[in-house]
Amino acid sequence: MKEIFLLKLGEIVLKGANKRQFESKLRQNIRRRMKAYGNFDVYLIQSTVYVEPMDDACDIDGAWEACNSIFGVVSLCRCRPCEKNMDAIFAAVEEYLGDDLDCAKSFKVESKRSDKRFPMTSIAISQEIGGRLAEAHPGVAVDVHDPDYTVYVEIRDLAAYVHGPAQPGAGGLPTGVGGRAMCLLSGGIDSPVAAYMIAKRGVEIECVHFFSYPYTSQLAKDKVLELARLVTRYSGRMTVDIVSFTEIQEAIRDNCPEEFFTLIMRRFMMEIAQRIAKQHGCGALITGENLGQVASQTMEAMTVTGAVVDIPVFMPLVGMDKEEIVTIARRIGTLETSILPYEDCCTVFTPKHPKTKPTLGQVIHAERDLDREALIQKALDTYEKVTVKYHDETGI
């Protein structure tokens, strides 16, 4: 029988009356991801999603890699199904896992009998298969406490399944069960991680990026689009709204006190992002702010910049150390792109001595000579929408 994948559900199993909704969305997401790799059957039994290739043309390795980045899956394994009898189970273990066993110093067998009609208990199954494997592999010791390798046998409704150790899944909740949110995406390390972390909670992500040509280059814009593409490995395809920010920044430079440049700039960003978010059905903003990391991320500064919006602002990184953020960026594959030396608009017209403890009244007074509405409306009239996806050829 052909190799299949078993994807185990995480916190979805704790959902009460809404559990079916979460399961249905997860199946839908998995089916969509699998289309790039061939004809797969995706079905769910007993809090486990089965992903089964239906013909030899399927790209098994590509599909396996994709399954590793699907939110809602807590662990997953490649396995071999077989008939539910001890001879067939032993034969499947030998054929499918025999080489791995020969490379191990010690092993044990763990069994799980979900189908209670099967006549043997889980312990009896492990003892029987373990005994046969010990005879077939005399050079590999049996160690039930700290084995070098573990053989897993699962007796389920449709068949028995044998596999080696499972690996962690992406966790979280299925994309699409948590609404939509707009992420302010820069070219730095933090904001792609913030987008990933909120997407992990089942939220569909849209991004807005502020582009200040000629102060920032096309390479900087391409860098941001690549960061968004890397996040779509987990979140699914997304739209990036590219907002021309040059005129706003020049107006701030020409009309506002230097110490307030960054604060006023961020207030424009937040308000523009909120307006686009509301147009596109997003119920919250996402930022990569981290308390105390830079002058514009003090408690007072964040109060001032957040005062221009009336929807929730999610800041998943706010209490994290920089190294924690870098670790996540490295794991999800955005770090190397984030550190490319292309400046974004946040580094344009940076004040030498920024205000770190502003009051709302001070900032409103500092921006009194700006025609805020006219500047915002012009930016909204000219922004560009770009769709990004991890696999360009498939539409996923």
pLDDT digits (tens, 9 = 90+) for 114-138: 999 999 999 999 999 999 999 999 9
CB within 8 A of 29, min separation 6: which ones? 70, 71, 72, 174, 175, 176, 236
Give the number of other CB atoms < 10 A from CB of residue 363: 22
pLDDT digits (tens, 9 = 90+) for 205-233: 999 999 998 888 899 999 999 999 999 99
Question: Which amino acid makes up residue 356?
Answer: T
* Model confidence, pTM: 0.91
The answer on pLDDT for 383 being more than 70 is yes
Between CA 116 and CA 122 the distance in angstroms is 10
The answer on pLDDT for 396 being more than 80 is no
Give pLDDT, residue 330. Answer: 98
The answer on pLDDT for 392 being more than 60 is no
Instruction: State the average pLDDT over residues 368-392.
Output: 92
pLDDT digits (tens, 9 = 90+) for 90-99: 999 999 999 9
Give pLDDT, residue 394. Answer: 47
* Token reading at 33: 């991801």
Between CA 133 and CA 128 the distance in angstroms is 9
What secondary structure does DSSP assign to 289-352, as a single string?
Answer: --TTSSGGGSHHHHHHHHTT--S-EE-TTTT--HHHHHHHHHHHT-HHHHTSS---GGGTT--S
Nearest to 170 by CA among 336, 29, 315: 29
Nearest to 269 by CA among 299, 249, 253, 284: 249
User: Please, how many CA atoms are within 13 Å of residue 164, restricted to the half-sphere of its CB?
Assistant: 16
Q: For the chain, how many helices (H) and strands (E)?
A: 13, 15
Contact 131/88 with Cβ under 8 angstroms?
A: no
Position 349 confidence tier, pLDDT thresholds 50, 70, 90: confident
Between CA 235 and CA 204 the distance in angstroms is 7
Domains along the sequence of the chain with CATH? 4-170 (3.30.2130.30), 180-388 (3.40.50.620)
Position 292 confidence tier, pLDDT thresholds 50, 70, 90: confident
Average pLDDT score over the chain: 93
Instruction: State the average pLDDT over residues 245-258.
Output: 95
The answer on pLDDT for 1 being more than 70 is no
CB within 8 A of 314, min separation 6: which ones? 181, 194, 198, 284, 285, 286, 287
